[in-house]
Structure 1
Amino acid sequence: MDRLEYADAVAAQITRMADAIRGHDLARPVPTCPGWSLRDLVEHTGSTHRRAAVVAGEARQERLDRASIDLGLPSDDAGYADWFAAGAEPLRKGLLAHDPSTVVWTWSGPRPVVWWARRQLCENAVHGADAAIALGHTPQIDEAVAADGVSELLDNLPYADWKPRDLTGDGERLSWQSDTGVGFLVTLYPDGYTYEPSAMPGEVTVRTSTAADILLLMWGRRGYGDYSVEGDAALLKRWADNSTM
């Protein structure tokens, strides 16, 4: 996907998520985000959109904390769906405001502004799934978006330094394979890991129905006990324990 496709897709996602939460009790717990209510999820995701809009739109070179942004949160729960939806167009405009090669601040280091377009689409896909699960629905994630989301997570995981992580090894391979043909092979090395789209099995192989299943597994939204796991379960557990965002 190019930057325009990312920007259009995330704007559409935001509108769908706003429609999904409209009229629901925002005190409802979100099982996939322990301790969060639906209101917390909406505030977090909507504030992330607004931060990304500022960083991308102003080509910020320094870190921008969400706490420094006037979010304009609604005074009561009835306004949250509209507030969430209102973040779509400013985000879209911000993501398209500069040449896609323009370098800006990101939490994984200076990156072209297109990083934010991809990050917002993938983040909103996962949080949209969180909302769907909280509302008792089956998450609906486009297969191409899900596959890109897995790659995006693996690209950025080494920079997610807000918890200790051990993503190293001695050549062990972990494989995730879906019935739709999307597959990933991660190889662990003493100084980190590499990954590639691949149908190859590993020392441990996880088999799922869809790429969306792989994305939700890697984000800790689903448990491996619900899927076919072949091989070294201890290796898979070590990866899961250290890769959860």
Structure 2
Amino acid sequence: MSDALLNALAEALAGLVTAVETSDEDTLDRDTAVKWLESTGHALSGLGHADRRTLDGLFRAAALREPPGPWRDGLLTVPAGLRHDDDAHPALLDEEARIAPEATRLALDDGAHLALVDAVAERAGRYADTVGDADPATPVPTCPGWTLGDLTRHLGTVHGWAEHLVTARPATRVRAGDLPLDPPADPSAYPGWFAARAQGFTTAARTADPAAPVWSPGADPSVRHYPRHLLAETVVHLADAEIALTGSARPIDPGTAAAALDHFLTTAPYIPWIAEPLAHLDRDGAVLRLAARDSGAVWTLVLGGGGFTWSRSGTGAEPTASVTADAGELLLLLHRRYAPDDPRFTRTGDRDLLDDWLAASAL
């Protein structure tokens, strides 16, 4: 099914539900309206967690294509109204309650947006310097089958794609392969091309309204999604380049690593090839705790309800498994750049849970 058809169906359904809910009794009998909505909600409740997340995103995108006003406000309430929360896993409801105020806070914090854009620019500059004089044919062991040229072309493509999104602000998905990003034919020219693409993104992101609506592959369909996304991409791929050229990655600033790790955990439920394997782990109630020894930050992941929830907290249920390392090392562990047996990690508890999580969440 095409993206255009999916978006059209979601928009039609959201519009129908909103029209029913906003009709007065002279126009539509309330008992009939309730019956229609209950039947629709029951049908949608049979979807898996990943599909329900995707549908929620489609509903939100449809709402944000409308101008501000009562109709848009009504459309934004559709996902919650059709979710059958009585049957949902309590941890999932807690997670959704946590995400909503966080998104609102970020929408008001232009300073945080600009700080993330600056962080992307700094890491992109470091990446360009790292690969500038390197042989593009150098293998990248953390990305099997890729060379340094492949890695640089990929990262430049991501930056160019994100520049288009924050500039054009499409309401539906745009694939990088459909954009005229014009990578050079000679791989030795990739570093300069990458630097130009990265500069294009940071320039566009600095002048964009962080709260402006735009399609995103995650929980937040707004411009502010993309500096977080680009920071995570650039930090991890900078580590890939450093490992390829020197055998080890430089330490990652704890705050930067934490932001990238937060982004990965927030976005993972919206990535089908991660969400679906996690939904079938059959480890409901298992708790994986990640502790950063350099900053004291703690992430607690609770599996269940066809997915997982997470919080920045070291309290609550006793962990089934735990891993302690520096924040940057934990980020690279979740991205499978380091193996869990690496001596930099201190592990306790059920090793199978960690292995299962890493296998299911592989990008």
Q: TM-score, normalised by structure 2?
A: 0.64
Residue 176 of structure 1 aligns to a residue whose secondary structure is: strand
Q: Which residue of 1 aligns with 2:346?
A: 228
Question: In 2, distance between residues paired with 1:206 and 1:103?
Answer: 37
Question: In 2, distance between residues paired with 1:149 and 1:3?
Answer: 14
Deviation at 1:162, TM superposition (A): 3.4
Structure 1 contact 57–93 (Cα < 8 Å) conserved: no
RMSD in angstroms over aligned alpha carbons?
A: 1.7
Match of 1:166 among 264, 272, 278: 278
Structure 1 contact 59–103 (Cα < 8 Å) conserved: yes
Q: Establish whether residue 187 from structure 1 lines up as the match of residue 299 from structure 2.
A: no
Question: In 1, distance between residues paired with 2:150 and 2:187?
Answer: 11
Distance 1:96 1:58, change over 3 A: farther
Greater mean deviation of Cα atoms: 40-49 or 157-166: 157-166
Q: Which residue of 2 aligns with 1:148?
A: 259
Q: Which residue of 2 aligns with 1:83?
A: 193
Deviation at 1:75, TM superposition (A): 3.1
Structure 2 contact 142–337 (Cα < 8 Å) conserved: yes
Q: Which residue of 1 aligns with 2:289?
A: 175
Deviation at 1:11, TM superposition (A): 1.3
Match of 1:238 among 346, 351, 356: 356
Paired letter, 2:314: A
Distance 1:120 1:38, change over 3 A: same
Question: In 1, distance between residues paired with 2:191 and 2:209?
Answer: 31
Matched ranges for 1:204-215 at <5 A: 204-208=321-325, 210-215=326-331
Greater mean deviation of Cα atoms: 106-115 or 78-87: 106-115
Q: TM-score, normalised by structure 1?
A: 0.94
Structure 2 contact 136–188 (Cα < 8 Å) conserved: no
Question: In 2, distance between residues paired with 1:24 and 1:120?
Answer: 23
Q: Establish whether residue 5 from structure 1 lines up as the match of residue 115 from structure 2.
A: yes
Deviation string, structure 1 residues 163-196 (Cα, Å, up to 9, x no partner): 6412463211101112111221111112321111
Structure 1 contact 56–97 (Cα < 8 Å) conserved: no
Question: In 2, distance between residues paired with 1:138 and 1:155?
Answer: 25
Question: In 1, distance between residues paired with 2:155 and 2:250?
Answer: 16
Distance 1:157 1:21, change over 3 A: same
Question: In 2, distance between residues paired with 1:149 and 1:124?
Answer: 10
Q: Establish whether residue 216 from structure 1 lines up as the match of residue 332 from structure 2.
A: yes
Q: Which residue of 2 aligns with 1:67?
A: 177
Deviation at 1:110, TM superposition (A): 6.0
Question: In 1, distance between residues paired with 2:157 and 2:204?
Answer: 14
Deviation at 1:74, TM superposition (A): 2.1
Paired letter, 1:35: G
Greater mean deviation of Cα atoms: 90-99 or 228-237: 90-99
Question: In 1, distance between residues paired with 2:189 and 2:120?
Answer: 21
State the percentage of identical aligned residues: 33
Any unmatched runs of 5+ in structure 1? Answer: none
In terms of Rg, which structure is larger? 2
Greater mean deviation of Cα atoms: 22-31 or 134-143: 134-143
Match of 2:152 among 37, 42, 51: 42
Question: In 2, distance between residues paired with 1:138 and 1:221?
Answer: 10
Q: Which has the higher strand share?
A: 1
Q: Which residue of 2 aligns with 1:196?
A: 311
